[in-house]
Amino acid sequence: MAAISTSDFKTGMTLDLPEGLFQIQAFQHVKPGKGGAFVRTTLKNMRTGAVLERTFRAGEKMERAIIDKREFQFLYRDGSDMVFMDNKTYEQINVAPEVLGDASDYLIEANNITLLMYGDEIVGSDLPASIVLSVAETEPGLQGDRVSGARKAATLETGLVVQVPLFVETGQKIKVDTRTGQYLERA
């Protein structure tokens, strides 16, 4: 582990603090007229997602955590676990869906995902901004029911339920925003 100073802070950097593993979301160096300088930060817990505000003295040293980004391919579901294969070493790992959070709602077999790893522990995942999924089930749009902006529920192939426009039918492919879980367009 490399010790870093508050003057080395950058947005997105990860710190190994006694309270846990935190990523810097925002920081601000403050030099008041009286007293010593300090750094005000907004930190996000990599394991729980909780956000906290913390102030450090200027020049304070702490441990930097090295987060490794590795490309994996989703192979299949094994009971409640999901099985991934490392694209470089071809090693397979089982991951509980709770570890991935919302990312598990967007994965279909043969999709690639970037997993954020701290040692052998998975602390997060990076999905593309949008993903194309098939509509597994939805009610048909009724003729004459053309209210502007009207929506209906659609269940996707992964089990995720999203609100789609009335013209979307079962079997069609749609593009979904992975950050918000909303319908974007037909694919």
Q: In total, how many domains does the chain have?
A: 3
| Domain region containing 167 | 130-186
Kindly state whether residues 173 and 155 are assigned to the same domain.
yes
pLDDT digits (tens, 9 = 90+) for 111-137: 888 988 888 888 888 888 888 889 988
pTM reported for the whole predicted model: 0.73
Query: Within 13 Å of residue 144, how many CA atoms lie on the same side as its CB?
Result: 0
Query: pLDDT band for position 83 (50/70/90)?
Result: very high
Kindly state whether residues 109 and 156 are assigned to the same domain.
no
Kindly state whether residues 77 and 101 are assigned to the same domain.
yes
Average pLDDT (133-153) is 77
Kindly state whether residues 162 and 150 are assigned to the same domain.
yes
Q: What is the CATH number of the domain that holds 79?
A: 2.40.50.140
Return all residues near 1 (Cβ < 8 A) that are at least 6 apart: 16, 63, 64, 65, 66
Query: pLDDT band for position 148 (50/70/90)?
Result: low
CA pair distance 135, 155, nearest whole angstrom:
6
Burial 60-84 (b: 16+ CB within 10 A, else e): eebeebebeeeebbbeeeeeeebbb
Domain C-terminal end among 126, 147, 165: 126
Q: What is the CATH number of the domain that holds 57?
A: 2.30.30.30
pLDDT digits (tens, 9 = 90+) for 12-49: 899 998 888 999 999 999 998 888 899 999 999 888 88
Radius of gyration of the chain (CA): 22
Kindly state whether residues 95 and 135 are assigned to the same domain.
no
